[in-house]
Structure 1
């Protein structure tokens, strides 16, 4: 049984679905009260369970292992001071690190087969290499944002604890994820805003973005499946994997895909490229070779699926 922290969140929900489809059972850990979504109704109580626990409460977390036989952990919850300013700075950092260490301790206590940790494409910020970014590239010590800052700390902590304990740990450097249950607007890329606007016939409000700017966009269902494959693979040869589409997708490509389905869709993006644009996409060779993963959703299929989801009455 796989324990997933943040299992009812954006990426967590898609990862849960993928693990269930692979035949696994899941325990989803949420800090706030949560009910089982309708999408998991068939598995609820048999192959899927929801537990409430704050990860900073080690006793509450370990108690879950008394009720369920946990064989693996996928840690997708924050382990960072978030949202910014919500905590006193030092206390916020202390809580973030405590939650991460508690997850490691639970993995050791339960003797899980594998612990997966969510990292981010943002750890590559400042890398000067060109082309697809591989996991072996040296990363700068600095980060422009608290998310990649704490993800780097988490990766270093994972390297240390993997060396001194018997817990196999794998870090997922997750690309720019878009699709059902995602947030719109997103401060880092325009895809979600553009699809939401097309579904509702409104202006996207994305004029700060440029048509020529691009990023490694990975559809949410593909992301969840990649993480599930990394968790269930018989053998992994590396401690770090890029979880992404493995290609650069420009805002212009997203707009073109939307207009094939919604010809009158509005797009208020600027022409050309932004003055500080840095193209960033990830090398997914490790992921493909060790799990057999290939993205099932290109831009057009992703747009069609996302539009259908929103038009079915889903808010995000």
Structure 2
């Protein structure tokens, strides 16, 4: 049976990756620096304590794996800004350690990256993997550094590695960003300061997880970087309206306009992922929210 190591095992993406990998018949080894029982819901076969900053531990837990789906990170500009050196150590050194471990084991590393690397693009033009990057924050910078190391390692040593850029990820277990559903289900009224017209390429987490597993199991990956998002530009107002349709009486107040605290960019082109590992998103916005609601029941 194929064993996949999934790092960041407590997190939203990792939990969905575990579920998707088990659905494909894989053996799942969840790894994290510590586990929180209330956050673990996905089926898995084994849990291991792993600090990705320790090279020997990475090698030990990767030794018998076919692939590593690397979700562990200090995530988001706010958390990264609070401790930039820790962010550098986890997001860059940790990725480098796992890549060395994967290469030594003859395994593939699928590195979870971010579309925030594209920076602010007010023209809202669709973004391909070949478009220039322009990181705006420490978080973006560490993710670009990790991607660059993976790509250079691939060229230098022939390593089996690719990075997946995603963004505006919503779904069960969400901790970064405001996606309304859990709060309105709890009876809260949500008030935003700005941004009802802010454009976003929303990514449903189950779609992202299926893409990461498909990339891990594909016979080969022709490119070092792949966009994996919904591929459609919507607004935060569209998202709020979809929540209201799903939860009658939901109270969400959004002034119009752009949110200056969020990246501004167009949708990602996702044709490369479709061509190389046969992935397309299954969920539009309404279907993704309905699935999230079902998982919360």
Partners in 1 of 2:142 and 2:103 — Cα distance? 22
Partners in 1 of 2:182 and 2:123 — Cα distance? 34
Which residue number in structure 1 is paired with residue 216 of structure 2? 231
Identify which of 163, 180, 188 aligns with 1:202. Answer: 188
How far residue 138 of structure 1 moved from its aligned partner, in angstroms, is 1.7
| 1:108 has 2:93 as partner | no
| 1:261 has 2:246 as partner | yes
Output the TM-score relative to the length of structure 1.
0.83
Which residue number in structure 2 is paired with residue 6 of structure 1? 8
How far residue 211 of structure 1 moved from its aligned partner, in angstroms, is 2.1
Partners in 1 of 2:88 and 2:129 — Cα distance? 26
Indicate conservation of the 8 Å contact 1:18/1:224, yes or no.
yes
- SS of the aligned residue for 2:68 comes to strand
Unmatched runs of 5 consecutive residues or more in structure 1: none
Indicate conservation of the 8 Å contact 1:226/1:243, yes or no.
yes
Unmatched runs of 5 consecutive residues or more in structure 2: none
How far residue 290 of structure 1 moved from its aligned partner, in angstroms, is 1.9
Partners in 2 of 1:260 and 1:292 — Cα distance? 32
Name the count of aligned residue pairs: 292
Partners in 2 of 1:218 and 1:233 — Cα distance? 21
Partners in 2 of 1:247 and 1:92 — Cα distance? 30
Name which one, 1 or 2, has greater alpha-carbon Rg: 1
Partners in 2 of 1:115 and 1:49 — Cα distance? 19
Indicate conservation of the 8 Å contact 2:121/2:266, yes or no.
no
Which residue number in structure 2 is paired with residue 63 of structure 1? 60
Alpha-carbon distance change, 92 to 309 in structure 1, aligned in 2, over 3 angstroms: closer
How far residue 12 of structure 1 moved from its aligned partner, in angstroms, is 0.7
- Render the CA deviation track for 1:109-142: whole Å, top value 9, x for unaligned: 2111x211111010000456642110011223xx
How far residue 27 of structure 1 moved from its aligned partner, in angstroms, is 1.2
Identify which of 123, 135, 140 aligns with 2:129. Answer: 135
- SS of the aligned residue for 2:5 comes to strand
Which residue number in structure 2 is paired with residue 124 of structure 1? 118
Which residue number in structure 1 is paired with residue 88 of structure 2? 93
Alpha-carbon distance change, 163 to 272 in structure 1, aligned in 2, over 3 angstroms: closer
Indicate conservation of the 8 Å contact 1:133/1:282, yes or no.
yes
| 1:270 has 2:255 as partner | yes
Which residue number in structure 2 is paired with residue 28 of structure 1? 30
Which residue number in structure 2 is paired with residue 179 of structure 1? 171
Which residue number in structure 2 is paired with residue 292 of structure 1? 278
Partners in 2 of 1:304 and 1:91 — Cα distance? 37
- Render the CA deviation track for 1:260-282: whole Å, top value 9, x for unaligned: 23232111101344579834211
How far residue 23 of structure 1 moved from its aligned partner, in angstroms, is 1.3
Partners in 1 of 2:145 and 2:132 — Cα distance? 15
* CA RMSD, Structure 1 to Structure 2 (Å): 2.6
